């Protein structure tokens, strides 16, 4: 039985949440500060997106650099996990020509999408393992098998561990295929992302189905968004995984009460404690995941 777990805090994300939470971290300084506070509250891993000053999502390397530099120079022993999810949005045209792509389109070459990871060498980065109807509109998030193999090969070369993001069962299946092909180092790391329309629902059966196709060697985390965030802290732990919380996934500490990242970490730790489990330090998490600390 896995009686020790690590917590990931996803501090800001790329969703349309800046207008819903006045204190959502947006600037590099705010994102770094939130990551440090989450680490001090007990998170072993900080999952990081960056945003423009107005809160819109960004993938500018200079923003990642500032966040990474601020966290590293603080002396905070937290594992950095940078997203590579930006740059895969395709807004299908709603007129007669579906190839007249809409304003939400943001497509970049896969190597450009991982360029900040190559430059700043976090210990972990995300790798979204499939294409998905991401949300209830005309936008799909595109991640082809060819591109995923290219990215996984490069990440293995530079010794950054990809966290395979599975939003649906097929994503988990393909992530497992990457491992079979030798493109993921041991132990492979997976993340179950539940409740995002229109991927896997936030249900016990969905989580179990993903676990059933995951490599037996895997170390995995899991989360569900919005009101299901805290129930799935417990669900994840009881099923042998490691929980993720943070303002990327849920803005509220309780009904009507906006949260900070540190508060969400603290609440998750209380749940873990009540279940009789204990929290792993960043050092213990590095050892478990066999991470390479570059700087």
Grade residue 89 by pLDDT with cuts at 50, 70 and 90. Answer: very high
**Cβ atoms within 10 Å of 284's Cβ, excluding its own:** 14
Compute the average pLDDT of residues 234-252. 98
Report the distance separating Cα 120 and Cα 52, nearest Å.
19
**Strand 124-128 vs strand 161-166: parallel, antiparallel, or unpaired?**
parallel
Report the distance separating Cα 152 and Cα 176, nearest Å.
12
82 in a domain, yes or no?
Answer: yes
Q: What is the chain's mean pLDDT, rounded?
A: 96
Task: For residue range 97-125, list pLDDT tens digits in order.
Answer: 999 999 999 999 999 999 999 999 999 99
295 in a domain, yes or no?
Answer: no
122 in a domain, yes or no?
Answer: yes
272 has pLDDT over 90: yes
Domain span including residue 224: 4-289
For residue 223, the surrounding DSSP H or E stretch is strand 219-224
Tell me the whole-structure pTM to 2 decimals: 0.96
294 in a domain, yes or no?
Answer: no
CA terminus-to-terminus distance, the chain: 33
- pLDDT above 90 covers a percentage of the chain that reads 95
CA distances (Å), origin 207, targets 168, 171, 196 = 10, 13, 13
Q: What is the total count of domains within the chain?
A: 1
275 in a domain, yes or no?
Answer: yes
> What CATH code is carried by the domain that includes residue 267?
3.20.20.70
Report phi then psi at 90, rounded to 5.
Answer: -120, 115
């Amino acid at each position: 039985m896995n009686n020790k777990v690590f917590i990931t805090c996803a501090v800001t994300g790329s969703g349309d949440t800046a207008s819903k939470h006045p204190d959502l971290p947006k600037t590099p300084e705010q994102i770094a500060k939130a990551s440090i506070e989450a680490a001090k509250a007990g998170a072993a891993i900080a999952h990081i997106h960056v945003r423009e000053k107005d809160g819109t999502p960004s993938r500018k390397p200079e923003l990642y650099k500032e966040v990474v530099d601020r966290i590293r120079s603080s002396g905070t022993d937290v594992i950095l996990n940078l997203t590579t999810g930006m740059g895969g949005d395709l807004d299908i045209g709603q007129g007669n020509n579906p190839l007249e792509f809409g304003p939400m389109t943001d497509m970049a070459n896969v190597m450009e999408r991982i360029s900040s990871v190559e430059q700043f060498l976090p210990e972990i980065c995300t790798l979204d393992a499939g294409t998905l109807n991401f949300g209830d509109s005309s936008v799909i998030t595109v991640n082809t098998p060819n591109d995923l193999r290219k990215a996984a090969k490069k990440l293995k070369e530079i010794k950054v561990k990809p966290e395979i993001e599975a939003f649906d069962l097929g994503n988990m299946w393909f992530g497992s295929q990457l491992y079979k092909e030798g493109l993921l180092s041991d132990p492979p790391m997976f993340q179950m992302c539940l409740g995002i329309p229109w991927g896997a629902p936030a249900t016990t059966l969905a989580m179990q189905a993903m676990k059933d196709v995951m490599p037996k060697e895997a170390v995995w985390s899991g989360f569900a968004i919005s009101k299901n965030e805290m129930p799935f802290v417990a669900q994840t732990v009881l099923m042998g995984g490691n929980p993720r919380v943070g303002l990327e996934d849920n803005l509220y500490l309780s009904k009507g009460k906006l949260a900070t990242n540190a508060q969400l970490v603290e609440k998750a730790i209380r749940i873990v404690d009540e279940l009789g489990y204990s929290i792993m330090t960043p050092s213990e998490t590095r050892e478990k995941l066999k991470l390479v600390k570059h700087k």
